[in-house]
Amino acid sequence: MSATRAGLTGRLAIDGGEPVRASMLPYAHQQIDDADVDAVAAALRSDWLTTGPRVPAFEEALCSVTGARHAVAYSSGTAALHGATLAAGLGPGDEAITTPMTFAATANAVLYVGAEVRFADIDPGSLLIDPELVAGQVTPRTKAILPVDYSGQPADYDAIRAIADAAPGGRALVIADAAHSLGATWHGRPVGTLADMTVLSLHPAKIVTTGEGGAVLTDDDELAARLRRFRNHGISSELRARTDWTYQMVDLGFNYRLTDLGAALGSSQLDRLEGFLATRRRLARRYLDRLAGNDAVELPALDPDADSAWHFMFVQLNLDRLTVDRGGAYHALRAEGIGVNVHYIPVHEHPYYRGRYPGLSLPVAERAYRRLLTLPLHAGMTEADVDDVVAALDKVTTAYRA
């Protein structure tokens, strides 16, 4: 349902006026077509619901779209992050540096293996981890750096690589959290080739989905072998490769396997990756053009040498031009039928992390969080949907103009 004329101006829906949209536009939504349904149905009718041939086929498809040598599918992005920190050899006494502007899973994966997190604050415009602040967090214990490609834009991998290579305790590994950035490029290089390991999430909100799912991409044969073991109880052989009943458990691993149902869906989705990305980029460009005239919102800072996958669009409110705070704007926009969201509550502000790292202050992330809104962006949206969001933002920021 698109905007009605009366809803575009006048009384805010939160005050009883007519909303811009009659039904809620979600911030994210999966795109499932008949080919996806047929692919999953074929997997269901096959002999293999899990540990079957569709998983390596999906992994090969991931390699061919990203250029990575190896892809290891996991049951979720979180499991894939855990696999990556295990494969990196992180453990008690080690430290890993990451950003506070992420979903807690990124930092949690460091804690799962007994290592400690050090947070480096972010750039105020892109909200990507700031390499200079990463350098300030390096200690002789630093074993890994986990940048996050926030909103789909890759972090500064050359700067981070240089810091990791110069770590005083020996070369640290770069583990990219690319949950948002499948299909993005940075200085002409695709996500999946920018770090030692690159972690994808294949949750329905992401660029492509397997239901729940994730993957780790790497060019390193030894890391790939470890990643395969850790998702399969630490067993050194895959079920279909065995010639008799014997197998060896050589590491303490987990059951983090992706099913063949998920892999079938993922392969079918990857066939449409280029189209998904093209739509997201076209809609993002329209947002940037249309919002440029609204001085109550600050647009994302973009690296001209990056081509974002645009997992979501974010804006930061210029609160000194408004009489509401972010929470007020959020509720007013939701009342207008715009499914805005907030990514993210900075990780160190969650009670668990507050308890673990008391008094930690990361002022750039904290200020950004107070001003942040995620705007709807997914491959099922149209230009008219973007125009509704822009109209609702104009309506709300006009009504609350300071």
Active-site residue set: 206
Is 179 an interacting residue with respect to ligand PLP (CB under 6 A)?
yes
Q: What is the H or E stretch that residue 278 is in?
A: helix 273-291
Helices (H) and strands (E) in the chain, counts: 14, 13
Cα three-residue angle 38-382-14, rounded to 5 degrees: 115
- Of the ranges 4-12, 72-80, 246-254, 294-302, which one interacts with ligand PLP (CB under 6 A)? 72-80
Is 332 an interacting residue with respect to ligand PLP (CB under 6 A)?
no
- The letter for the amino acid at 111 is L
DSSP 103-131: -THHHHHHHHTT-EEEE--B-TTT--B-H
Residue nearest to ligand PLP (CB): 77
Terminal C-alpha separation, the chain: 31
Question: Measured from the CB of residue 186, what is the shortest distance to ligand PLP in angstroms?
Answer: 16
The answer to whether the beta carbons of residues 251 and 228 sit under 8 Å apart is no
Q: Rg for the chain (alpha carbons), in Å? A: 22
Position among 78, 151, 153, 269 found at the interface with ligand PLP (CB under 6 A) = 78
Is 177 an interacting residue with respect to ligand PLP (CB under 6 A)?
yes
| Count, residues near ligand PLP per rule CB under 6 A | 14
Nearer of residues 102 and 267 to ligand PLP, judged by Cβ: 102
Rounded CA separation 121/346 (Å): 10
Question: Measured from the CB of residue 50, what is the shortest distance to ligand PLP in angstroms?
Answer: 18
Nearer of residues 103 and 400 to ligand PLP, judged by Cβ: 103
Nearer of residues 97 and 335 to ligand PLP, judged by Cβ: 97
The candidate with the shortest Cα–Cα distance to 270, out of 52, 28, 63, is 63
- Of the ranges 23-31, 98-106, 186-194, 284-292, which one interacts with ligand PLP (CB under 6 A)? 98-106
Q: What is the H or E stretch that residue 215 is in?
A: strand 214-218
- Of the ranges 151-159, 173-181, 249-257, 293-301, which one interacts with ligand PLP (CB under 6 A)? 173-181
Position among 19, 77, 339, 346 found at the interface with ligand PLP (CB under 6 A) = 77
Binding mask 129-168 for ligand PLP (x = CB under 6 A): -------------------x--------------------
What's the CA dihedral at 49, 51, 53, 58 to 10 degrees?
A: 90
Question: Measured from the CB of residue 351, what is the shortest distance to ligand PLP in angstroms?
Answer: 19
- Of the ranges 175-183, 223-231, 268-276, 334-342, which one interacts with ligand PLP (CB under 6 A)? 175-183
Cβ neighbors of 247 (< 8 A, separation 6 or more) are: 235, 236, 237
Is 40 an interacting residue with respect to ligand PLP (CB under 6 A)?
no
Nearer of residues 148 and 291 to ligand PLP, judged by Cβ: 148
Is 214 an interacting residue with respect to ligand PLP (CB under 6 A)?
yes
Position among 66, 85, 99, 102 found at the interface with ligand PLP (CB under 6 A) = 102
Q: What is the H or E stretch that residue 70 is in?
A: strand 70-74
Is 209 an interacting residue with respect to ligand PLP (CB under 6 A)?
no
The candidate with the shortest Cα–Cα distance to 313, out of 295, 336, 286, 349, is 286
Is 397 an interacting residue with respect to ligand PLP (CB under 6 A)?
no
> Per 3-state DSSP, what percentage of the chain is helix, strand, and coil (rounded to 5)?
40, 15, 45
**Number of C-beta neighbours around residue 243 at 10 A:** 6
Chain residues in the site for ligand PLP (CB under 6 A): 76-78, 102-103, 105-106, 148, 177, 179-180, 201, 203, 214
